[in-house]
Amino acid sequence: MSEILRLDRVSRHFSGLQALREVTLAVNKGEVLGLIGPNGAGKTTLVNTVCGVTPASAGTITFAGQDITRIKTYQAARLGLSRTFQIVQPFAEFTALDNVAAAALFSQGHENVKTAREEARAHLSFVGLEAQAAQPAANLTLAMRKRLELAKALAMKPKLLFLDEVNAGLNSAEVERATKLIHELAASGITIVMIEHLMKVVLNVCSRIVVLHNGRLIADGTPREVINNPAVVEAYLGQQYAQRSAAR
């Protein structure tokens, strides 16, 4: 498999806080990569650093063969880097349709709103929100806002999609529906990196997992290799989880 993204000794610090510590990581085209670790491990900071929200303090980031270490967020979006946010904040007074159309207009430079809305309607249909297209985003449930967030990210036509806690706050049926959408996206060929605390979801959809702890990459391997890694068990999973997994 060929690489689409590479981080080479990437670090990021905020005053005295070292959020990322010389992280070296490659993401292959078409894979679904799980990014896990304790709260505060640096997972969202890593995504922000790749997407230009918080530029790297040191190291190099390459996307599709291009150095993007100092890229701006709008440039990242137009190159095909898209992401969802853990805390969803749609334009509350906009309709669901216009939230997605705005993402298409921003990232792709559509010449007119009509074209953007047509494309937005297709993305809403994919995530199951076609019936809510005319509703203000403020009226949607949390699960619907999560799916709206995904539709907005897809409107940016991503080559690489970062999913940041898309299942947080959802019930089991909603998680199952979100997992099905992720499977469908992966089958379409979009490369996915997902931050996720629900290990059953990670093990269900990810072919490879990397683990951050205190800003450092401490593991990189298949799901089975990672959940049996002593460093991961100690830092994140805990002995009880490891024992249950080994018994399956």
The strand pair at 216-221 and 191-195 is best described as unpaired
From 113, 130, 157, give the residue that closes a domain: 157
* 31 in a structural domain: yes
At CA 231, angle to CA 209 and CA 244, rounded to 5? 75
Same domain, 151 and 231: no
β-sheet with 17-28: strand ranges across: 17-28, 3-14, 58-63, 66-67
Same domain, 27 and 119: no
* 88 in a structural domain: no
From 137, 157, 177, give the residue that closes a domain: 157
Same domain, 111 and 37: no
* 197 in a structural domain: yes
Of 229, 231, 230, 225, residue with least CA distance to 206? 225
Residue range of the domain that includes 222: 3-80+159-247
* 199 in a structural domain: yes
Same domain, 128 and 182: no
For tokens 């249909």, the residue is 125
Same domain, 59 and 163: yes
- For the question of whether the overall pTM of this predicted structure is more than 0.85, the answer is yes
Same domain, 177 and 125: no
Is 88 in a helix, a strand, or coil? Answer: coil
* 87 in a structural domain: no
Q: How many CB atoms lie within 10 A of CB 131?
A: 10
* 85 in a structural domain: no
pLDDT at 16: 82
Q: How far is CA 106 from the centre of its chain?
A: 19
pLDDT at 241: 65
- Cβ atoms of 143 and 172 within 8 Å: the answer is no
Counting the structural domains of the chain, the total is 2
Q: How many CB atoms lie within 10 A of CB 16?
A: 5
On the CB side of 31, CA atoms within 13 Å amount to: 21
What is the rounded CA–CA span in Å between residue 72 and residue 49?
A: 10
pLDDT at 242: 57
For 21, the token pair is 């510590």
What are the pLDDT tens digits along the chain (248 aa)? 699 999 999 999 998 889 999 999 999 999 999 999 999 999 999 999 999 999 999 999 999 999 999 999 999 999 999 999 989 999 999 999 999 999 988 876 656 888 899 999 999 999 999 999 999 999 999 999 999 999 999 999 999 999 999 998 899 999 999 999 999 999 999 999 999 999 999 999 999 999 999 999 999 999 999 999 999 999 998 866 655 665 55
Helix (H), strand (E) at residue 21: strand 17-28
What is the rounded CA–CA span in Å between residue 178 and residue 127?
A: 9
* 177 in a structural domain: yes
Same domain, 73 and 183: yes
Domain CATH for 239:
3.40.50.300
For 107, the token pair is 């990232």
From 101, 122, 157, give the residue that closes a domain: 157
Same domain, 149 and 163: no
pLDDT at 238: 82
pLDDT at 247: 53
- Cβ atoms of 156 and 104 within 8 Å: the answer is yes
For 146, the token pair is 């999560």
Contacts 24+ apart (CB under 8 A), 100-106: 100/124, 100/148, 100/151, 100/152, 100/155, 101/155, 102/152, 103/152, 103/153, 103/155, 103/156, 104/155, 104/156, 106/74, 106/77, 106/156
* 120 in a structural domain: yes
Give exposure, 101-123, as e/b (b: 16+ Cβ within 10 Å).
bbbbbbbbebeeeeebbebbbeb
